[in-house]
Structure 1
């Protein structure tokens, strides 16, 4: 059976949920999930495909992502590997913020990273006000107010475009 490695960096779980949705579209693949925050040492040659998903918080990707890439960049370059970035700005599909070209986060990632993924997806995440600590709730509400997003802190809003995720999954399967 073909194997796929799914690495993820998530805060409230939406990135892992998106990665799981992609993998559910890959019939015939055995999947192994690994949390990037654990800074794993892995042999990527043991897998047919590699999917890395990471979320943005306060405009940045987690340092664990960059540490993993630094430790595995040569294997990532040789692997059939894709990267997805999950962020709230990607909810602005009409402004192309959900594309690698239109995402400032992806452009920053590509400048900072020694790995240049063969395939990149950008997906809107979820707003989970009730789950945030007080400070995060206040800061994220402030950011959402500035960017025209939901500011009712009693709400949870999922912005993920699941149709777009499924299209990405089919492309990843054909990779």
Structure 2
């Protein structure tokens, strides 16, 4: 069988085999370079963490505006550092009394909503409802739109708190 392969590829000496092997290797390297460098460029880890931090900061600021407590390091509302376990927005007792939600923030181009919900539920603190804030890059006006996902029952309970005859309008 080895002779048949040699005849098909016209390999007559060990040097021919080396040359052919080198050409195949170079071609594979070029194909892999094209595949990974132009089609799906990977974001640096530091850039990904910066995006997540911006989403957490935005969310903490919105919660702060809503309940009137300050946010930041060593404040009642504090975005959790990258790589730490638990909810993404740490709330002290006073903040939790005013905003009883365990917040998970995600800034990804490809959304894995079921996976993000599982993570939000896994990090949910007792006595709170899970809440998920998701965003991705937007080319429209240079802004990224944020989406909030929460349990449907919780959503309708919140709508019921709005005064008026026609709730939600």
**What TM-score range do you get, normalising by the shorter chain?**
0.3 to 0.5
- Higher percent of residues as helix: 2
Structure with the larger RCO, 1 or 2 (CA within 8 Å, 6+ apart): 1
Q: Which TM-score applies when normalising by structure 1?
A: 0.33
Higher radius of gyration, 1 or 2: 2
Whose strand proportion is higher, 1 or 2? 1
